[in-house]
């Protein structure tokens, strides 16, 4: 895995929605170079504390970007190669990495080879999860592998730093195990993260030769444990997360372009900080979905166009925020800053010190470095005596009431509050 990912914190963007290039019924205006609008948000990513920008699909497609028609062409609704070069150049000038979204499981019905009878062997004959407009590729065909290698190398050669591999869970692992080493032979510093939902992440990462995988198990456990008042679910997920960390650093998140926003998912808004605290204090490579840092709301629906609410258009920065949005922004910046001051968290593991349905106290540790995180989602205060947790004292460094930094031997966490302490 490239060493630069040890400090990676992604700001994820769905470009077609973000710059107002979707829906497809709006014909592209050749005078609009919408992809360049993202360059105006790069300073925002820096201020947030991110180290890179993870882009959703930007290649030519008919609708939402996942029905690709040409992997070697920027979607004309977004712009052209010069706009891509400008965006990558501006990102790199600021020290930001750029991650691309590679849709190599399937293509759209307008993909030229799909229209060519001589190329029928390129396709499996299946559609992706019942979507008639998404045609499965034949991953046993050597020309398909060659094509994917060429596409990846082309955009890495233009400055991209890595690839998110969409729907990687449906592609044979042997395909990735063939393709990725061929790409790495030319771009050893590139990073590849596979989209996985269920299963043995570590086994798949190893077999497919991924660097990382999406941690959907932890995503679900975070919001579900907070909503249900069941921290046992989170503890179980973190125990599995520890085992994944032994093999790779997962891509962790509490929001992305495919799911209901965390501010809408949580039943109690006062638990939004708890979700963010978990994300930014456990091992892995965190990703913040654009808009979540402002507390944006949006519900994904299972219908055509049901993703639109979580993929809105953004204007020109700065965005005017209400009080709750401003609080979400400041909390994101503070906790990301805390994580950047403790880079060892990237490969840390967690262990429970106190666990019941509505209280969770865990230690996150790597070697001699550690933090203690205390979460309370009960109406009543939680009092902790640190010697009972195996440490005489700790420095209080963060909390829901903005406590003064001090060395303490005990701490009280108000109802629905949280604290982060650093053992002496």
Q: Tens digits of per-residue pLDDT, 98-142?
A: 999 999 999 999 999 999 998 999 999 888 776 778 999 999 999
For residue 244, name the pLDDT band (cuts at 50, 70, 90): very high
Q: Give yes or no for residue 25 having a pLDDT over 90.
A: no
Q: Please list the residue range(s) of the chain that carry CATH number 2.60.40.1180.
A: 350-423
pLDDT, tens digit, 9 for 90 and up, residues 157-183: 999 999 999 999 999 999 999 999 999
Residue 384 to residues 29, 62, 365, 378, 380: CA-CA distances in angstroms? 61, 57, 19, 14, 13
Q: What is the pLDDT of residue 132?
A: 78
Among residues 190, 174, 8, the alpha carbon closest in space to that of 100 is found at 190
Q: What is the pLDDT of residue 348?
A: 99
Q: In angstroms, rounded to a whole number, what is the distance separating the alpha carbons of residues 344 and 368?
A: 10
Cβ atoms of 151 and 84 within 8 Å: the answer is no
Q: Please list the residue range(s) of the chain that carry CATH number 3.20.20.80.
A: 3-348
Among residues 338, 362, 209, the alpha carbon closest in space to that of 286 is found at 338
How many CB atoms sit inside 10 A of residue 123's CB?
18
Assign a CATH topology to domain 3-348.
TIM Barrel (3.20.20)
* Percent of the chain's residues with pLDDT above 90: 91
Which secondary structure element, helix H or strand E, spans residue 71, and what is its range? strand 68-74
**Quick one: average pLDDT of 26-36?**
73
Q: In angstroms, rounded to a whole number, what is the distance separating the alpha carbons of residues 58 and 71?
A: 9
How far out from the chain centre does Cα 150 lie? 25
Q: What is the pLDDT of residue 125?
A: 82
CATH no. of 350-423 = 2.60.40.1180
Cβ burial 208-225 (10 Å sphere, 16+ → b, else e): bbbbbbbbbbbbbbbbeb
pLDDT, tens digit, 9 for 90 and up, residues 263-297: 999 999 999 999 999 999 999 999 999 999 999 99
Beta bridge pairs of residue 47: none
**Quick one: average pLDDT of 218-227?**
99
Q: Work out the mean pLDDT of the chain and round it to a whole number.
A: 96
**Quick one: average pLDDT of 258-265?**
98
For residue 315, name the pLDDT band (cuts at 50, 70, 90): very high
Q: In angstroms, rounded to a whole number, what is the distance separating the alpha carbons of residues 242 and 234?
A: 12
Cβ atoms of 302 and 316 within 8 Å: the answer is no
pTM of the model: 0.96
């Amino acid at each position: 895995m490239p060493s630069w990912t040890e400090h990676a914190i992604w700001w994820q963007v769905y470009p077609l929605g973000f710059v107002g290039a979707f829906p497809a019924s709006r014909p592209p205006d050749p005078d609009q170079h919408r992809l360049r609008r993202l360059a105006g948000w790069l300073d925002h990513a820096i201020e947030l504390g991110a180290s890179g920008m993870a882009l959703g699909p930007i290649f030519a497609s008919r609708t939402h970007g996942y029905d690709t028609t040409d992997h070697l062409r920027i979607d004309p609704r977004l712009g052209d190669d010069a706009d891509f070069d400008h965006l990558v150049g501006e990102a790199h000038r600021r020290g930001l990495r750029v991650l691309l979204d590679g849709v190599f499981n399937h293509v759209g019905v307008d993909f030229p080879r799909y229209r060519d009878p001589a190329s029928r062997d390129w396709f499996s004959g299946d559609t992706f999860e019942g979507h008639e407009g998404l045609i499965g590729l034949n991953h046993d065909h050597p020309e398909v592998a060659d094509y994917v290698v060429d596409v990846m190398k082309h955009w890495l050669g233009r400055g991209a730093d890595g690839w998110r591999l969409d729907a990687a869970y449906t592609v044979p692992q042997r395909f990735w195990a063939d393709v990725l080493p061929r790409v790495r032979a030319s771009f050893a510093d590139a990073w590849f993260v596979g989209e996985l939902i269920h299963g043995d992440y570590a086994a798949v990462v190893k077999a497919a030769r991924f660097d990382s995988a999406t941690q959907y198990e932890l995503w679900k456990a975070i919001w579900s444990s907070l909503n249900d008042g069941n921290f046992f679910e989170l503890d179980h997920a973190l125990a599995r997360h520890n085992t994944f960390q032994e093999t790779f650093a997962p891509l962790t998140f509490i929001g992305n372009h495919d799911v209901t926003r965390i501010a809408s998912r949580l039943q109690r808004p006062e638990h939004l900080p708890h979700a963010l605290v978990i994300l930014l204090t456990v091992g892995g490579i965190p990703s913040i979905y654009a808009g979540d840092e402002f507390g944006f709301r949006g519900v994904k629906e299972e219908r055509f166009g049901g993703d639109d609410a979580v993929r809105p258009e953004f204007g020109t920065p700065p965005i005017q925020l209400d009080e709750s949005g401003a609080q979400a922004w400041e909390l994101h910046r503070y906790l990301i800053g805390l994580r950047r001051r403790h880079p060892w968290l990237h490969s840390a593991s967690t262990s429970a010190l106190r666990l019941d349905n509505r209280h969770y106290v865990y230690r996150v540790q790597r070697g001699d470095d550690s933090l203690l995180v205390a979460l309370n989602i009960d109406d009543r205060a939680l009092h902790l005596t640190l010697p009972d947790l195996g440490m005489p004292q700790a420095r209080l460094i963060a909390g829901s009431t903005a406590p003064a930094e001090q060395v303490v031997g005990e701490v009280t966490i108000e109802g629905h509050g949280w604290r982060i302490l650093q053992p002496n």
